[in-house]
Amino acid sequence: MSDKRLLKEGPGAATAETEVPVIEVDSHGHTLEPDYKRLPIGPDHILYPVVVGLALFPILMGDAGHHLADDMPEDETHPFFPDHFWPYPIIAVVMLVAVGLLAAFVQKNLQLETSADPRTVTIPRPDWYFLFLFQLLKLGPELFMALVIPPVVVGALLLFPFIDAIAGPRFAKRLHWKTWPVPGRNIYTGTIFVIGLAIVALLTLWALAGPQFCVPWFINSPVCGA
């Protein structure tokens, strides 16, 4: 260390100059809201801690990459705060009120039955979101319906981006399409989505129709609701 960097304070005292390294955040050339358009809440404003609290979440989520909005004209974009942010607190309050009202007025589903007793006989019915799966089990051999179809569907769902990226363009080429559109504009993947939803909805409705509602089926005929 050179002599210049030594500070002498008092007789015989020699301490090193404290230099705090400043870490620069790479901004990726983001387009930010110009100063004159921002809320007048600077570091000396009483509400600045609130602003910091709001910013903490994106900060914790890491540095933002170069986004689409950075290359878009100003009239096609808007600032995250407050323009994009403001609906979320309102949505949170609305949802809290909605579940609170459901809790207050739809008590039926919340009421407990008797304490569990293995000696009693009860035919269980799962919650609504598992009803389609419950009904699916009745449509074929249990092993196949429980341990083959659901894992295959989940596996296909997990790998769908890769299936779509690999098989899609090949299929499009065969159809003489220039591109392979997204499901919202693609007759094939869009139809798969709608059919999938329809199957789930039909199985759920079938289960909800109750044990008296029976339909002839190829295997295990007839199959009744839950």
Partner 1 sequence: MAIPHPREIQTAVVDWLDERYPFTKAVDEALYQRVPNFANAFYYCFGGMVFILVVFQLLTGILLALYYVPDATGNPAPAYTSVNFIQNNVYLGWLIRGVHFWGANLLIIMVLLHMARVYWTGSYRAPRELNWIVGVTMLLLILAFSLTGYLLPWDTKAYFATQVTIKIAGLAPPQQLGTFIKELLQGGPAVGPPTLQRFFTIHVFLLPAVIVLLMYVHFRFIRAHGISEPM
Interface with partner 1 includes 36 (CB under 8 A)? Answer: no
**46-75 positions binding partner 1, by CB under 8 A:** 46, 48-49, 51-52, 54-55, 57-59, 61-65, 67-70, 72, 74
Q: How far is the CB of 118 from partner 1 (least distance, A)?
A: 7
Which of the ranges 1-9, 154-162, 170-178, 205-213 carries the binding residues for partner 1, by CB under 8 A?
Answer: 154-162
Q: How far is the CB of 212 from partner 1 (least distance, A)?
A: 20
Contact 123, 210 (CB under 8 A): no
Name the strand (E) or helix (H) holding 156. Answer: helix 149-158
Nearer to partner 1, 141 or 222 (CB): 141
Locus of tokens 């609170």: 100
**90-149 positions binding partner 1, by CB under 8 A:** 91-92, 95-96, 98-100, 102-104, 106-107, 109-110, 112-118, 120, 122-130, 137, 142-143, 146-147
Q: How far is the CB of 12 from partner 1 (least distance, A)?
A: 29
Query: Hey, what amino acid is at 196?
Result: G
Alpha-carbon distances, residue 220 vs 7, 20, 71, 140, 203 (angstroms): 91, 76, 60, 7, 16
Interface with partner 1 includes 201 (CB under 8 A)? Answer: no
Nearer to partner 1, 86 or 217 (CB): 86
Q: How far is the CB of 179 from partner 1 (least distance, A)?
A: 9
**160-199 positions binding partner 1, by CB under 8 A:** 160-162, 164-165, 181-184, 190, 193
Q: Report the alpha-carbon distance of residue 59 to residue 52 in Å, rounded.
A: 10
DSSP character at residue 221:
S
For residue 17, the Cα-to-chain-centroid distance in whole angstroms is: 50
Interface with partner 1 includes 24 (CB under 8 A)? Answer: yes
Phi-psi region of 98 (alpha: psi -120 to 50; beta: other; left: phi over 0): alpha
Query: Hey, what amino acid is at 182?
Result: V
Q: How far is the CB of 3 from partner 1 (least distance, A)?
A: 25
Locus of tokens 């919650």: 127
Locus of tokens 């809290």: 96
Q: How far is the CB of 192 from partner 1 (least distance, A)?
A: 10
